[in-house]
A and B are shown apart, each in its own frame.
Chain A
């Protein structure tokens, strides 16, 4: 038995038929081809599968695709804008915040949520926020720097926007 659901991923609407037990991560990866989010544990421990669901960072290995019928999902593929890196991607690149890159999509999605809630986090706050994302390669130090780097860029972008009279 399958269910017909609709998901909007990175702005594109998808209609698909899934088994009731299909995990969101597998629907994204196997059914729709968004292979950016990765599977590291299938048990909500590692965070490699983190995506944004209606604006919140969630672990897509512990949600069923049918549960999120109608939702908007952003994956790492949706971060760059017309080939321009998002500040978080730029931060990771500049600070060498990744090695094998497997944890990286999830790391960036979680970090982004942090920066939306707290635009100027301390090192301790960043480490705390990354509690649900494991990295085996970097020792986290450069990930922390990457998030600080992105925070700074995002703050100055906001300021520029405000100076342009844009505001939020």
Chain B
């Protein structure tokens, strides 16, 4: 069922949008020509290594850097004392009740997580820098640590910040509490569940890195770094290191994956920039994998009690959710938005639920800052809803697929009780398709037969929804965002007729060079090969917001459409002038402007471009040249959706789970490049299956990370990820000119509950209602054996 890819040369120009053409970024990546940050070599370049706290919580009594300073080849060593810049990381999303706490880039009095930065070494060589870090002595007075959000909020918890009493970062709620309580009183059934959405470590294959170069006579600073959003990094870094924004260039070379971890502003990249200014030489910092485990912002970290109210006839009446969210030691860039607006607003799922109430308490703990990780809030919401509807169906004795269908939203736009308006949807289609692919009835028969033989098969559904392309800026501002959420683009014709399209997104594996060229070629009616796409460099593209939250196609792609439209309009004026007709009488099709009714009187847009620069014969008063800029601010979010289903077999004796099938039917609106869409789904599902079965950050009671390497934290391997069968339905979004929705996070959002639901379905005979992720064999075995004992003992 896989999508076949095509060579761009074989695709008719009229079909370029929507074709599965091979990616143009691949040749460099396949030959070793790609340039990742650590590939950059500059003359006189030094290397940076960072001294990090070995304890999760401690007062710092002293830092002795003298032994490091004395080493041959060490160029500079600095601590917080030596900084003459503000040196505090800002938070980019404010909530009414938020306690903003200081987040210094170098700790001086207290460390709050293992890995907190304490000192920086600049040395002539990479190994030497690390050696010197090893010689820095830190005197710690160890304090009690807490890593679990519920524990952190308890009365006797160690306090992390003087100005955040009880470790409460914020208290937040959404929905109507009273109406929800009333709905629960009236409902025939209430089904409740305690569930945990564990902390995850993003594990992009390329660890974070930065190379900074400084030109003192011009006061120009350039930072090449692993970023998903160079412009935001430029803005934030400019304040943190006190360097004028217009004299700071942030550039993303090739970036080896991000999944959210390269959105946020960290201490490290700011320290590298400071080091370059101090030593007036280029400097490079490349995180080791150990450093990424200790310092990359982690994801999820929710503890939730949730309940659903249902009537006898299967109608959902309400949803009540209470969540404690782990924020880690400090507030990372967008951290406050993730367990609040990105989470609470999605709790209606695909269902028409009359009342919802959700309360979230954010907790400071001694783990690294927690922020957006692929999906960011939406996987947590979808997990809650999809676990609850599965349980509710079981309680009522209804089929889980039909129970979902019965409660689907059917009319669009649809306003939920948690403040969002779904743009468009057709939720039954993916469900029907998934059931067909599963051969569902046959499966249920097979499942029953297998049970007779003592084999436990299960199917789990996930009818997920996602919110992408966060917008519009005004709304984001009302919710607390400290940034606009538009995207900017510039489309420029060169006199020879080729085009360079600049856009403020910043891809890191998503294939933007290809998809964006498809969009622009289609809009302008020119050859795909005549369009070049540039992104990821603040010197080339003055403004932008970056790539995260599946916003690139919906917002960035739309910005490219807007600029292209402006170009076509200017070109039409020129064409009409030269064809000596009114512009209303000129038609534009596939690059050609022709006179209505006289198609042989025509001029191609590439010839118009040439004319615009010749400027010999332009309409009166028109400026020469042909380029256009736009800032596109979307009118609403887009809401992709779909149904994923996992089929598993569980061995209750060992707790082992075998995948039989994984079926994914997604509706991401119009698809610009179906091959890339499919690839995004695969990758997302793999991360979701990773969460369901293998992944999770684990800490000792003193806050030491137990899963601090790839030996201990399972990034799934090829043998651990099932083969996926994918298909799609297409419901265009009415809120953007491309009709696209967004696909990057779909798989990660959908997969965890599909797997957990499947395992719980398989173990229904054992009365297993829920097992917390990751579903390790031992956990599953315990869940089955405990219930067996309970049943045998007649305790229930």
Q: Which of A101-115 contact B (CB under 8 A)?
A: 101-105, 108
**Neighbouring A residues of B471 by C-beta, 8 Å:** none
Q: A26-B126, A40-B205, A93-B27 are in contact. Are A137 and B678 (CB under 8 A)?
A: no
Most B CB within 10 A of own CB, among A33, A38, A123, A140? A140
State whether B31 touches A136 (Cβ < 8 A): no
Also in contact, A101 and B256, with CB within 8 A (given A42-B288, A89-B31, A130-B717) = yes
Q: What residues on B are CB-neighbors of A29 within 8 Å?
A: 38-39
- Give the complex CA separation of A43 and B290 in angstroms: 10
Q: Which residues of A contact B675 (CB under 8 A)?
A: 96
Decide if B31 touches A99 in the complex (CB within 8 Å). Answer: no
* Chain A residues within an 8 Å CB radius of B687: 136, 139
CB-CB < 8 A to B205: which residues of A? Answer: 38, 40, 46, 48, 100, 102-103, 134-137
A residues less than 8 Å from B38 (CB atoms)? 29, 35, 38-39
Query: Is B204's CB under 8 angstroms from A136's CB?
Result: yes
- Contacts A30-B126, A95-B5, A136-B205; A102 near B22 (Cβ below 8 A): no
Chain B contacts for A85, CB-based, 8 A = 30
Which single member of A77, A108, A137 contacts B509 (CB below 8 Å)? A137
B289 part of interface (Cβ distance < 8 Å): yes
CB < 8 Å: which of B35, B676, B709, B717 contacts A134?
Answer: B717
Q: How far is the CA of A76 from the CA of B39 in the complex (A)?
A: 14
The answer for the CA separation of A74 and B682 in the assembled complex, in Å, is 30
Q: Is A40 touching B206 in the complex (CB atoms < 8 A)?
A: yes
Name the CB-closest residue of A to B726. Answer: A141
Complex-state Cα separation, A130 to B719, whole angstroms:
8
Q: With a CB–CB cut-off of 8 A, which chain B residues contact A134?
A: 205, 710, 715, 717
**A50 contact set on B, CB distance < 8 A:** none
CA distance A124 to B27 in the complex (A): 28
Inter-chain contact A92/B683, CB cutoff 8 Å:
no
**Cβ-defined contact, A139 with B685, below 8 A:** yes
Are B709 and A43 in contact (CB-based, < 8 A)?
A: yes
Q: Which A residues touch B191, using CB under 8 A?
A: none
Q: Which residue of B is nearest A21, CB measured?
A: B127
What mask results when residues 34 to 68 of chain A are scored 1 for a CB within 8 Å of chain B, else 0? 11111111110110100000000000000000000
Q: Are B709 and A96 in contact (CB under 8 A)?
A: no
Chain A residues closer than 8 Å to B126, beta-carbon distance: 26, 30
- Chain A minimum-CB-distance residue to B2: A145
Q: Which of A77, A135, A136, A145 has the largest count of B CB atoms less than 10 A from its CB?
A: A136
Q: Which residue of B lies closest to A101 (CB)?
A: B29
Nearest B residue to A41, CB-CB: B289
For residue B215, CB closer than 8 A to chain A, the reply is no
Q: Judging by beta carbons under 8 Å apart, are B206 and A46 in contact? A: no
Q: How far is the CA of A141 from the CA of B39 in the complex (A)?
A: 28
* Shortest distance between the CB of A20 and any CB in chain B (Å): 11
CB distance from A24 to the nearest CB of B (A): 14
Measured CB to CB, the nearest residue on chain A to B690 is: A136
Residues of chain A with a CB closer than 8 A to B27's CB: 93
B255: chain A residues within 8 A (beta carbon): 100
Inter-subunit contact A96/B5 (CB<8 Å):
yes
Q: Which residues of B contact A133 (CB under 8 A)?
A: 718
For the complex, what is the distance from the CA of A110 to the CA of B629, rounded to whole Å?
A: 46
Taking each of B680, B683, B684, which has the highest tally of chain A beta carbons within 10 Å of its own beta carbon? Answer: B683
User: Complex: how many Å from CA A102 to CA B25?
Assistant: 13
Instruction: Kindly state whether residue B498 has any CB partner on chain A within 8 Å.
Output: no
B676 close to A100 (CB less than 8 A): no
- Whether the Cβ atoms of A138 and B683 lie closer than 8 Å is yes
Q: Mostly helix, strand, loop or mixed at chain A's interface?
A: loop
Q: Does B32 contact A (CB under 8 A)?
A: yes
- Please state if A100 and B256 are interface contacts (CB–CB under 8 Å): yes
In angstroms, how far is the closest chain B Cβ from the Cβ of A138? 5
User: Is the CB of B61 closer than 8 A to any CB of chain A?
Assistant: no
Asked if A102 and B36 sit within 8 Å, CB to CB, the answer is yes
Q: Which of A89, A92, A98, A144 contacts B718 (CB 8 A)?
A: A144
A102 to B, closest residue via Cβ: B256
* Chain B residues near A92 (CB-CB < 8 A): 26, 30
Q: Given A26-B126, A92-B26, A101-B256, decide whether A141 and B723 contact each other with a Cβ distance below 8 A.
A: yes
A39 → chain B closest CB, angstroms: 7
A38 and B256 in contact, given A96-B5, A101-B509 (Cβ under 8 angstroms): yes
CA distance A42 to B31 in the complex (A): 22
Contact residues in B for A104 (Cβ distance below 8 Å): 29-30
Residues from chain B with Cβ under 8 Å of A142 in the complex = 2, 678-679, 682
Task: Give the residue name and chain of the A residue nearest to B25 (CB).
Answer: A101
Residue B254 is within 8 A (CB to CB) of chain A in the complex: yes
In the complex, the chain B residue whose C-beta lies closest to that of A48 is B205
A136-B26 contact in complex given A96-B679, A127-B719, A128-B719, C-beta closer than 8 Å: no
Are A137 and B719 touching (Cβ within 8 A)? no
Instruction: Say whether A151 faces chain B, with CB atoms less than 8 Å apart.
Output: no
Given contacts A46-B205, A100-B206, A134-B205, whether A41 and B127 have CB atoms under 8 Å apart is: no
Give the residues in chain A near B26, CB-CB below 8 Å. 92-93, 98, 101
Which residues of A have CB within 8 Å of B39?
29, 35
**How far, in Å, is A116 (CB) from chain B's closest CB?**
19
B138 located at the interface, meaning its Cβ lies under 8 Å from any Cβ of chain A in the complex? no
Q: For the complex, what is the distance from the CA of A126 to the CA of B59, rounded to whole Å?
A: 51
Q: Which residues of B contact A131 (CB under 8 A)?
A: 717-719
User: Which of B31, B32, B38, B286: most chain A Cβ within 10 A?
Assistant: B32
The answer to whether A139 and B683 touch across the interface, beta carbons within 8 angstroms, is: yes
Q: Which residues of A contact B286 (CB under 8 A)?
A: 39
A161 interface residue, CB < 8 Å from B?
no
Determine the distance from Cα of A104 to Cα of B30 in the docked complex, in whole angstroms.
Answer: 7
Measured between C-beta atoms, what is the minimum distance from A104 to chain B in Å?
Answer: 6
Closest to A135 in B: B205
Cα distance A29–B686 in the bound complex, in angstroms: 30
State in angstroms the CA–CA spacing of A128 and B720 once bound together: 10
B478 within 8 A of A: no
Ordered by A's residue number, 6 sampled pairs between the chains whose C-beta atoms are within 8 Å are A43-B710, A100-B206, A102-B36, A102-B204, A103-B205, A134-B710
Give 10 nearest A-B pairs by CB, closest first: A36-B32, A102-B256, A101-B29, A100-B509, A139-B686, A139-B682, A45-B710, A99-B509, A35-B39, A127-B718
Besides A39-B286, A98-B26, 19 more A-B contacts (Cβ < 8 Å) are A37-B32, A40-B205, A40-B207, A45-B709, A46-B205, A92-B30, A96-B675, A96-B676, A98-B30, A99-B257, A99-B511, A100-B255, A104-B29, A124-B719, A127-B718, A136-B203, A136-B687, A139-B682, A143-B718
Which residues of B are interface residues toward A (Cβ below 8 A)?
2, 5, 22-23, 25-32, 34-36, 38-39, 41, 126-127, 203-207, 254-257, 259, 286, 288-289, 508-511, 675-676, 678-680, 682-687, 709-711, 715, 717-719, 721, 723-724, 747
